[in-house]
Amino acid sequence: MKIQFLGGAREVGRSCVLVETRSDRVLFDYGVKLSEGQQPLYPGKINGTLDGIILSHAHLDHSGHVPAWFANSKTLLFATQPTVDLANLLWADSLKIAEYEDYHAPYLKGHINKTNKNTYIIPHYKKEIPIADESMLTFFDAGHIPGSAMCYLNTNEKNLLYTGDINFGETNLLKPAEIPDKPVDVMMVESTYAGKEHPKREKTEKTFAESVKSHFETGGHPLIASFAIGRAQEIMMIFKKYNIDAPIYLDGMAQKATMAIQQSPKFVKDSKALNKAVQDVTFVKSQKMRQEIIKEPGLIITTAGMLQGGPILYYLLELNNNPLAKLFLTGYQVEGTNGRKILNDEPVEIDEVELPLKIAWEHYDLSAHADWPQLQKLVKKMNPEILFCMHGQEANCELFANWAKEELGIDAYAPMKNESFSF
Ligand SMILES: [Zn+2]
Ligand SMILES: [Zn+2]
């Protein structure tokens, strides 16, 4: 068996792992690495044919390059229904961004259609599906976003577990990830938070809700920057749980993502609770409506979560000088993004113009990734022969691999991009 890391190696972005046995050839994920105003970075080149692409979840760092495969070749895509629905939203949006930013997109709309025609929907978790001559795939709930999966591949050589992005903490929207009850020889694990422990989730959530509430009650405009998938729905559910009696608005791609998630009720923890939370929320449908709603106090949940585009930039420009407004960041802010610039007290950049930030802000990391104790526990439990630590900054991947080697005696690596391993 040969495993090659074509992306997501010592980085967060363009996750892609090629697995080859004597009979089968499959990919785990085919993502892109986004960079502001520029063409994304793509995984390493794949020569030859594939028996299948296994998609762990919809986020672009895992799914973003999938239609590009179908632009030149054929294969089958294996994913859950919410993953397919949400990835379609993101793929269509990526095409729009490429056009707006004026760079070459590696696929066209027709290739998204071709992808959909060649997609096999995995109906639910824990169902074993034959995907190639000698390989069986089983998805386990990864607890990260709706439809997200840990991918277990049973081959005639080794048994593999590719975690994708995982979260073992329970949220309002999702159940925690489930630990696969299968023997694992080779494991590929995400390392986003290796070495870092999350603060207590419930406390973060409570402080966030109370701060938004009290800010609104003093006549303010809480502007909540949110990721479209998972986070926006979680925030609506938090506001419902804490009985925040205020007009709540949802803007940007979070609207379509919410509707897509509502269409797959079995992939959320409590679909009734989600629907109730969404009922209280007004969807912002036009620019005129945006201009109206900021005249009165209200809660605005909008994309993009890292302030890279989306309606949030309109609100930010309008509310920046308003002493009654406050910006709430609700997730991890990647290096180089406007969100990270805010955390670093640097001016943000909107359409290549610098904007010094006057608006007050607070940051809450309502993380959807496993933290260090959870990652350690998972590796101990699965106890693989070989461990590959990926999907993290270089130092985090190395730290994780060193820990597994020294503490558990596992043959562990932080692979380099394009590095391959045979066993
Ligand atoms: Zn993800
Ligand atoms: Zn990811």
Assess contact for 55 and 26: CB atoms under 8 A: no
CA of 334 relative to ligand 2 center, distance in Å: 12
DSSP 8-state code for residue 352: T
Task: Please tell me the distance between residue 319's alpha carbon and the centre of ligand 2 in angstroms.
Answer: 32
Question: Cα separations (Å) of 222 from 180, 201, 208, 256, 349?
Answer: 41, 21, 11, 22, 21
* Nearest ligand for residue 62 CA: 2
**Ligand 1 centroid – CA 387 distance (Å):** 20
Distance in Å, CA 412 to ligand 1 centroid: 23
Q: Which two tokens stand for residue 273?
A: 């609770």
Between the CA of 293 and the centroid of ligand 1 the distance, in Å, is 32
Q: What is the CA 162 to chain-centroid distance, rounded?
A: 16
Tokens 């997730």 belong to which residue? 331
The residue that leads in pLDDT, 421 or 39, is 421
Residue with structure tokens 């394009």?
418
What structural domains and CATH numbers belong to the chain?
A: 2-196+369-422 (3.60.15.10), 201-363 (3.40.50.10890)
CA of 227 to the centre of ligand 2 (A): 13
Determine whether 19 is exposed, middle or buried from the number of CB atoms within 10 Å of its CB (0-12, 13-18, 19+). buried
Secondary structure E strands in 257-347:
281-283, 299-302, 325-329
Cα 88 to chain centroid, rounded: 14
Phi/psi at 311 (nearest 5 deg)?
-60, -20
How do residues 68-86 score in pLDDT, each as one tens digit? 999 999 999 999 999 999 9
For residue range 27-67, what is the model confidence (pLDDT) as tens digits? 999 999 987 678 999 999 999 999 999 999 999 999 999 99
pLDDT above 80 for 211: yes
- Kindly give the distance from the C-alpha atom of residue 3 to the centroid of ligand 2, in angstroms, as a whole number: 19
Cα 214 to ligand 1 centre (Å)? 31
Structure tokens at 418: 């394009």
Write down the pTM of the prediction. 0.96
Neighbours of 206 (CB within 10 A): 14
The Å distance, Cα 61 to ligand 2 centre, comes to 5
320 C-alpha to ligand 2 centroid (Å): 31
